[in-house]
Amino acid sequence: MPAPRQLVVEADGGSRGNPGPAGYGAVVIDPDTAQVLAEAAEFIGVASNNVAEYRGLIAGLTAVRDLFPDTDVRVLVRMDSKLVVEQMSGRWKIKHPDMKPLAARAAEILPASSVTYEWIPRAENKHADRLANEAMDAGRRGGQWEPSSSTADLDTPRAAPEPEPSGPPGDAAAGAARVRAAMAAARPAPTPARAPESPQVPQAAQAPQVGWGSAPDLGSPATFVLLRHGETVLTPEKRFSGSGGSDPELSATGRDQAARAAEAFAERGTVQEIVSSPLRRCRETAAAVADRLGLEVRIEEGLRETDFGAWEGLTFAEVRERFGSDLSAWLASPEVAPTGGGESFTEVAERVAATRDRLVAAYAGRTALLVTHVTPIKTLVRLALGAPPESLFRMELSPASLSVVAYYADGNPSLRLLNDTSHLG
């Protein structure tokens, strides 16, 4: 009896807006030669990232069935969607009503015993990613992707003269060897890594309309999901806790909040990148989300909390008692720093604005989770709204709360959410 035919399916999906204009890409590869046997891509209209990812999976498995209708096959599906891989492997429950029928449809294409799933970093899924982007580009032009327009095979090795990788990632030998190794191993341990996606070029340089108006097509914005860290022992007592004093860890309550936030992000499937303040309470919160989503965490110094100088660890009442005149001056002017060499709100705003600009450029068209503190989040919101500095004292931000700001290609931001704690139950 002949041995089963070994195949690899790599699939991806994307949404510019999430939900927004969406498309998928899928490729079927011979693991022995790294030869591309089939490509599939389609613009699917307005949908979420997760829907597009599932549609890519369905297209890839369907291509295998159509190529080898009467052949016993063994298929390794490789995707950078942790959600799809874990749900189709049976390790995560499928809760979202939009995902259930898609998962069921994917499971019916080939026998369950013939398909295994592996999460891979985005950098190893370039072929399917480019197909998905080509499909979305075609949809933006009012058409559909055509195989003749595909350039995705530029990212896929075409031959494998050597059994071991000897060149840079993406060359023929390395690619084929990597795919063969993946087929040989049931589920090799992935190395979390992400590569920034090239920003989409907007079609028009017009300001996005707000309120009841409809925004013009400026491309997908850089969307920052702002997560305040979970609770520490200092939080319930409302003590000044910045970057100049102790670096407290999350309390038991804070760890639970981080876990709940991670679960919410896994269900929504919108976060593509994670950036954290260097302080411990943020790193721990970010790590909980990163572990759940299979992403890496980038540390960004510009997201650290204000240095409160001599006020670190004190309550507001204690600061009023010990440094009354300094506190009054601080409350009256953003130019005044806390006692003992702390940072003024003006200094913090300059630091945060510079950080914002770097991250907007790095994550254009993507959704990034920024795990940070009260002052940086309030500052990003204030700057997005063009509000005066005193507005910092008029916002409430709960531990592990979510706020969202989107930054469009013309430089105009849009505040979408503030202090949401619904995910905490």
Which residues are known catalytic residues? Answer: 229, 305
DSSP three-state, residue 10: strand
Residues with Cβ < 8 Å from 276, sequence gap 6 or more?
Answer: 282, 283, 285, 286, 297, 298, 299, 300, 303, 370, 371, 372
* All residues at 6 or more sequence positions from 326 whose CB lies less than 8 Å from its CB, including other chains: 336, 338, 339
**Centroid of chain to Cα 97:** 22
| The CA-based dihedral angle spanning residues 92, 94, 96, 99, taken in that order and rounded to the nearest 10 degrees | 110
Q: Which H/E stretch holds residue 290?
A: helix 280-293
Q: Nearest 5°: CA angle at 200, between 194 and 202?
A: 155
Q: Return d(Cα 285, Cα 281) in angstroms, integer.
A: 6
As a whole number of angstroms, the distance between CA 306 and CA 381 comes to: 16
Question: What Rg, from alpha-carbon coordinates, does the chain have?
Answer: 24
Among candidates 169, 141, 175, 134, which has minimal Cα distance to 157? 175
For residue 339, give the nearest of 304, 316, 315, 308 by alpha carbon.
Answer: 308
Structure tokens at 289: 């989300």
Four-CA torsion 282, 285, 286, 290, nearest 10 degrees:
170
The sign of the torsion formed by the CA atoms of 368, 372, 374, 375 equals: negative
CA 328 and chain centroid, separation: 41
CA dihedral 208, 209, 215, 218 (to 10 degrees): -10
Length of the chain: 425
Distance CA 375, CA 244 (A): 14
Q: What are phi and psi of 261, to 5 degrees?
A: -65, -45
